Amino acid sequence: MKKALKRTGKILLYIIGVFAVYVAAGLLIPRIAVNKNKNYQSPNDITVYITTNGVHTDIVMPVKSEWMNWDRYVKYADTDLKDTSYAYVGIGWGDKGFYLQTPTWADLKFSVAFKAMTGLSSSAMHATFYKHMAADFSTVALNISKEDYKALIGYIVNSFDLDASGSAIHIPSVNDGYGDMDAFYEAKGSYNLFRTCNTWANGALKAAHQKAAIWTLLKDGIFRHYRK
């Protein structure tokens, strides 16, 4: 009995230790910046945005520009409202279960959370169309070059799980808790304890040679580098 208790105690200490390291890494590593001298406010070829709802971070871009028409992948026709007057689209990556089965935290199920944390579930791309965009407490405007924008486009497009014709695969959703100008699509990769929606968004900024954390789990790890 004593040996069993001792073994159980060691396992618990090991779990606590791993959790403590995970939390410490999640708090400290995001403080390390990449491209920290990038002047995101200088005039450039196109303005894009990073925005957060307090949990997720999305990349928002003009639907149509000289370099990309996002309606090729995320279509107005896939939204409930189908309003083509919306000029911007925000795109994010995340766990499909969270997106489609958890409209509020009160709806969170253990099975959804477990699959997300362990990488056992699939992922989805979330698109939200906007009529207007402006910088505010939850949104940062980035003025970037066409070369950096093309790199950003490549990163985002490569996150979609495309069909044989190269089109994004729409995920029909009902009562998902989102708005009339939202749509979901199949994505590559799996959400897990080390790769979250904010890790993806942070990766998008790094791909576009913008200021970002070297790695982050939370949106604060991104926005801290733009709030100084």
For 7-21, what is the mean pLDDT?
A: 59
Question: From CA 142, how far away is CA 40, in angstroms rounded?
Answer: 5
Mean pLDDT of the chain: 88
Question: From CA 208, how far away is CA 155, in angstroms rounded?
Answer: 8
Look at strands 182-186 and 123-130 and give their pairing.
antiparallel
**Contact at 8 Å (CB) between 205 and 222?**
yes
pLDDT band at residue 11 using 50, 70 and 90 as cut-offs: low
For 190-218, what is the mean pLDDT?
A: 95
**Residue 40: per-residue pLDDT:** 85
User: What is the rounded (10 degree) CA torsion for 136, 67, 63, 186?
Assistant: -100
Q: How would DSSP label each residue in 89-120?
A: EEEEEEEHHHHHH-SSGGG--HHHHHHHHHT-
For 149-163, what is the mean pLDDT?
A: 98
For 111-129, what is the mean pLDDT?
A: 83
Count other C-beta atoms under 10 Å from residue 140's C-beta: 22
Integer angstrom CA distances of residue 135 from 41, 59, 69, 132: 11, 13, 23, 10
- For residues 87 and 102, the model is more confident at 87
Q: Does the pLDDT of residue 212 top 90, yes or no?
A: yes
The pTM for the full model equals: 0.90
- For residues 162 and 27, the model is more confident at 162
Q: How many residues does this entry show for the chain? A: 228
- For residues 60 and 28, the model is more confident at 60
Task: List the beta strands (DSSP E) in the chain.
Answer: 33-34, 46-52, 57-62, 88-95, 123-130, 139-144, 182-186, 212-213
**Contact at 8 Å (CB) between 190 and 120?**
yes
User: What is the rounded (10 degree) CA torsion for 65, 68, 73, 78?
Assistant: 0
**Residue 228: per-residue pLDDT:** 65
Q: Does the pLDDT of residue 203 top 80, yes or no?
A: yes
Each residue's pLDDT tens digit, 90-112: 999 999 988 887 655 566 676 76
**Contact at 8 Å (CB) between 69 and 87?**
no
Q: Does the pLDDT of residue 85 top 80, yes or no?
A: yes
Residue-range domain boundaries for the chain: 32-223
